[in-house]
Amino acid sequence: MVTCRGSAARRGAALAQLEVLSGDPAVLLEGDRISWVGSRKDAPRPAGSTVEVRGVLFPGFVDCHTHGIFGAPRLDDHERRALGEDYKAIAAAGGGILQSVRDVRARPEDQLAALARARLTTLLWHGSTTIEVKSGYGLATDAELKQLRALQRAARDVPATLVPTFLGAHEVPPEYRNRRAEYVRLVCEEMLPAVAGERLARACDVFCEPGVFDVAEARTILTAARRLGLDCKLHADELEGSGGAELAAELGARSADHLAAVSPAGIAALAASDTVAVVLPATMTFLGRPRQAPARRLIEAGAALALATDFNPGSSPTISLPLVMALGVSQLGLRHAEAVLAVTVNAAAALGLADRGQIAAGFRGDLVALGVSDWREAAYWMGANLVTDVWTAGSACPSPSRRVSLGFHVEA
């Protein structure tokens, strides 16, 4: 049993210190919580049933960065990149995020909810018991609200915790192309109050990137979000550096995400702050870009590092945090222990959730069992799904029907 017990956000050498109980460990679940952890011979007699797990038990994984509510896949973008076009050129030619925006605007809410239900259930059955999901394919008040309401509907049927984030500033929509200041005003004065009023999101994110939203615009939007009681997150220094990491640290954001082009000053700013550095190696791999985020330098500087899938149709169509952990080891130079803590304790910190990410008394009863004999296999069998059992809030999750797990098919 990998407990991940210890302090809330791990930095430096502590990120490699993972508690693993071998021998005959046991965990007791009562209500939605873990009430006891230890050696089975010392366990209090359980009031209810007992389950034997053959394999390794982990705290449920936390996927702290996804864009998991969208319509069709973007296969043409994928092929154009293979032919040598890059992400920004494809976007400028009408593909990219705006293609998903046209799709989401046209798709009814119940279809979006059904797609999210099927896809997020698949993430759950790859071990993610808490999943952050961003809007950002609406870019108009009604379409952003539609995405977040669809997510709220999906959340009633998916036994994972879905944590909604408002990302109205994911791109400037075409109708505001020459009036960007007006779009920023719309986000601040109309979208954010509507989202906060309906309690549709816990946090606000901005894609802060040269050519998308600059640091000043991101500051304006996140400051407005903070005033409405939302947490802040930031897509920072993904493709080109622009001071996004520094801004995230300055604003006390929960996380600064991507960071492939973060500067030395950005690394220092994150290390000196409580902002979690969320690194997304599947994205750079899928985009075929040679530069990954400097994860080792972030850890050595003292930043709290987390990993996530970035699940989305454009730059990272993966549903598997274990795959991302394997990429973390192979592409970022993480140790297996660091990869595990980056998808549990530190990913929970990136969402501001203090009650999960560890198998410890008082924590939420979110557990995942992998059919392996060495815990390091969690970050090793690239692309295999090793999950055998999942518990959320103290209850076993019913295994999904085959039909549900094939729910990726959509009419374009």
Sketch the per residue contact string, 182 through 221, with Fe ion: x for CB under 5 A, - otherwise. Answer: ----------------------------------------
Let me know if 127 is exposed, middle or buried by CB neighbors in 10 A (0-12, 13-18, 19+). Answer: buried
| Tokens representing residue 382 in the block | 């690239």
Which of 77, 217, 310, 377 touches Fe ion (CB under 5 A)?
Answer: 310
**Angle 141-157/97-106 helices, nearest 10 degrees?**
80
Q: How many residues lie near Fe ion (CB under 5 A)?
A: 1
- Min dist CB 52 to Fe ion, Å, is 39
List, in order, residues 6 or more apart from 306 with CB less than 8 Å away. Answer: 64, 255, 276, 277, 278, 279, 342, 343, 346, 347, 349, 350
CA angle 369, 29, 162 (to 5 degrees): 65
Q: Which residues bind ligand NIG (CB under 6 A)?
A: 67, 96-97, 100, 207, 235, 238, 283, 310, 312-315
Q: Which is nearer to ligand NIG, 284 or 353 (CB)?
A: 284
Q: Which residue in this structure is represented by tokens 């959320």?
A: 392
Residue from 207, 262, 261, 208 nearest 239 by CA = 261
Binding window for Fe ion (CB under 5 A); candidates: 125-133, 286-294, 309-317, 356-364: 309-317
117 makes contact, choosing from ligand NIG, Fe ion, none, with CB < 5 to 8 Å by partner type, with none
Residue (of 225, 259, 232) closest to 245 by Cα position:
259
In Å, what is the CA distance from 123 to each residue of 23, 39, 84, 266? 30, 31, 30, 31
Q: How far is the CB of 207 from ligand NIG (least distance, A)?
A: 5
By a kind-dependent CB cut-off of 5 to 8 A, residue 100 interacts, out of Fe ion, ligand NIG, none, with: ligand NIG
283 binds, among Fe ion, ligand NIG, none (CB under 5 to 8 A by kind): ligand NIG
Residue nearest to ligand NIG (CB): 314
Residue 144, binding choice from ligand NIG, Fe ion, none, Cβ under 5 to 8 Å by partner class = none
| Closest distance to ligand NIG from the beta carbon of 368 (Å) | 25
Which residues are bridge partners to 207 per DSSP?
Answer: 235
Nearer to ligand NIG, 312 or 358 (CB): 312
Q: Which residues bind Fe ion (CB under 5 A)?
A: 310
